[in-house]
Chains A and B, each alone.
Chain A
């Protein structure tokens, strides 16, 4: 039953939109290509399909509208009455009826034209038939424009109605306008109804929910009712009346004692008497609101109302036949007392203390915040004062944590002194046993000499290896005798080896050999005396030509040196010299990755 699913009604499109929608759907969802040379049954089938498709769409949509909108006979009389009040039952039924008629008409049109299509003998004829059919269907719908608009408005309003459950526990607030019904509901529930000083602020019903005795209660706020006969009431008041009439609720008739609403107490009483017949069979509470003199708290009013309603409901339930089923299931089990010991419920001590503390105004202890306020700028949060130490005077100590790369916390041990003693004893024993005595190198002179000789040998070897590496092995290899051995080097080498080379003048290698004897004496040649020589001798040298005096010469020399400075500094021969002597200097690219930055590799 679509009772309270007023929000689930499909959107009712306007007539124009509806037509456009359906026609475009037909165009998209049916095949579009047809040629006149096709077989006639194929052409007929093609156009029949289009007509049927359009008809199907209209039919579906309209049926959906008809089923979605609630039938006033099927829903709860409260809602039926409310809808009648708001939308006029006749108009509503008429609109839906029109839609129904339209649907039937469309079906008939489609049926007729499909039948006619059987006699279409050419593409052109079939096409015209289809066109006519679709046109007629669309015209039918165009005539329903007003109904569709009205239904759309109804749908929108319906979806915004408050969901009042007519079957559950309800409290109904009624009374004159501006007596304080909306304020009451705002206070008691989480509803946020507009409260304003002018009358008829509340124009429709509002629902709020509250909890009492572990049950959910609906509180319904109504627009105010004025005192005139039923026929003259307007829509807004009729809503209130409807609610009163149909909802089985506890009625709270709110009266404004202070007469701030603009009506005297007697007028309010008059109204009360007038609508009294509506209160039949419902628990009634008269609520005196806005009372600043008397202390009737509204809470007790509400309690009473709820209790009364509950009792009322229980009574009615008892009267129905369901009572026996319920009674069978209800049974309160109480454990039997096995002895006379009193077993009262347990309340922990802390809870009792706290309860006592709440009641008495005991002076609170000084908070950190108070201290902060007192000290102002000098305040520092010192959590060390809350520490629980064995000697409280140590609370402000600065505790050392690190010493020379070791964490002190790693050494903390209550028995550390004992262990240290053991260690020291052990160390003493070891020292006594001679473990720590440095062994003297009892080496004799001989050993020292041997060591020295060994080091010399090693050095000599290395030098020999280096000099051998410097040899040019790729070039031409000359026999040893090609190079002349100098006497001095030979004598030096042998002296290094320890031999005595002091007077070896007449040794075989020192004597001048016959080659020297046989050399003839060369005569000293005379210098050439030609003219060119003498001329070149008389010309001034280049760096002195054009220079007037010594001062200028000096300046010229400095100029020359300055111009050469840059090139010399860069070590370049000239401007075009771009030679780099060391592209990857070893000191920047070699070596181990020690502690430091490694960003320059």
Chain B
């Protein structure tokens, strides 16, 4: 039993799911669902279809070159079963997975960081331009004037006294 990768979107294809297409040149294509299969039949390039992992990796939206990604590699020569090795591998797998997720998240966060700056600048300009929609220009001025007058009167009264 193996979990394969969909040719189009790189999603995991579990056993009993999806379709497999074998071409005349003996190349095998697996698809996770009819969406990918239909897109393939329409001869769409997965590297240009925005929602696929292939696009995301080729456009630099996700982590591509990393040591933690080298652990999961399809090996063509099977290794004989050895309980110790298998159990060690399982532990290692979990750790590697954790590290990989952390690194992938960090990568995406870094990418989105520049957006924060833009957001800040956009907010400032928005406020500058359109403040009149929520606040009248002389909003608190009447009160201020009143306060000033009261203050002045008080001063005058004091001075009189």
Contact of A408 among B90, B120, B127 (CB under 8 A): B90
Cβ distance A44 to chain B, nearest Cβ, rounded Å = 72
In contact, B71 and A412 (Cβ under 8 angstroms): no
For residue B92, CB closer than 8 A to chain A, the reply is: yes
Mark contacts of B67-93 with chain A using CB atoms, 8 A cut-off: 1 yes-contact digit, 0 otherwise: 110011111001111110110111011
For residue A466, CB closer than 8 A to chain B, the reply is: no
A427 neighbours in B (Cβ, 8 Å) = 99, 102
In contact, B73 and A410 (Cβ under 8 angstroms): yes
Q: Contacts A399-B86, A499-B136: A457 and B81 contacting too (C-beta < 8 A)?
A: no
Mark contacts of A49-85 with chain B using CB atoms, 8 A cut-off: 1 yes-contact digit, 0 otherwise: 0000000000000000000000000000000000000
In contact, A409 and B75 (Cβ under 8 angstroms): yes
For residue A192, CB closer than 8 A to chain B, the reply is: no
For residue A405, CB closer than 8 A to chain B, the reply is: yes
For residue A595, CB closer than 8 A to chain B, the reply is: yes
A34–B57 CA distance with the chains assembled, in angstroms: 93
B1 neighbours in A (Cβ, 8 Å) = 401-402
B136 neighbours in A (Cβ, 8 Å) = 494, 497-499
A412–B1 CA distance with the chains assembled, in angstroms: 15
B83 neighbours in A (Cβ, 8 Å) = 391, 394, 397
In contact, A387 and B134 (Cβ under 8 angstroms): no
**Chain A residue at smallest Cβ distance from B4:** A407
In contact, B80 and A454 (Cβ under 8 angstroms): no
In contact, B130 and A461 (Cβ under 8 angstroms): yes
In contact, A451 and B123 (Cβ under 8 angstroms): yes
For residue A403, CB closer than 8 A to chain B, the reply is: yes
In contact, A598 and B34 (Cβ under 8 angstroms): yes
A454 neighbours in B (Cβ, 8 Å) = 122-124, 126-127
The size bracket of the interface on A is 35 or more
The size bracket of the interface on B is 35 or more
B23 neighbours in A (Cβ, 8 Å) = none
**Chain B residue at smallest Cβ distance from A427:** B99
In contact, A593 and B88 (Cβ under 8 angstroms): no
CB within 8 Å of B: which of A411-431? 411-414, 416-417, 419-420, 422-424, 426-427
A461 neighbours in B (Cβ, 8 Å) = 130, 133
A119–B89 CA distance with the chains assembled, in angstroms: 116
A387–B130 CA distance with the chains assembled, in angstroms: 78
In contact, B92 and A456 (Cβ under 8 angstroms): no
B140 neighbours in A (Cβ, 8 Å) = 498
For residue B152, CB closer than 8 A to chain A, the reply is: no
**Chain B residue at smallest Cβ distance from A594:** B35
A409–B122 CA distance with the chains assembled, in angstroms: 50
**Chain A residue at smallest Cβ distance from B116:** A441
Cβ distance A457 to chain B, nearest Cβ, rounded Å = 5
CB within 8 Å of A: which of B84-134? 85-86, 88-90, 92-93, 95-97, 99, 102, 106, 120, 122-124, 126-127, 130-131, 133-134
In contact, A417 and B135 (Cβ under 8 angstroms): no
In contact, B97 and A404 (Cβ under 8 angstroms): yes
In contact, B86 and A408 (Cβ under 8 angstroms): yes
The 6 A-B residue pairs whose C-beta atoms are closest, nearest first, are A498-B139, A454-B123, A497-B136, A454-B126, A420-B92, A460-B133
Q: A403-B90, A496-B134 are in contact. List 20 more A-B contacts (CB 8 A).
A: A390-B82, A394-B81, A394-B82, A399-B81, A400-B90, A402-B1, A405-B3, A408-B86, A411-B89, A423-B68, A427-B102, A436-B106, A454-B126, A457-B133, A457-B134, A460-B134, A497-B134, A497-B135, A498-B139, A593-B35
- 9 cross-chain CB contacts under 8 A: A389-B81, A400-B86, A409-B2, A422-B67, A423-B96, A453-B131, A456-B134, A460-B134, A464-B133
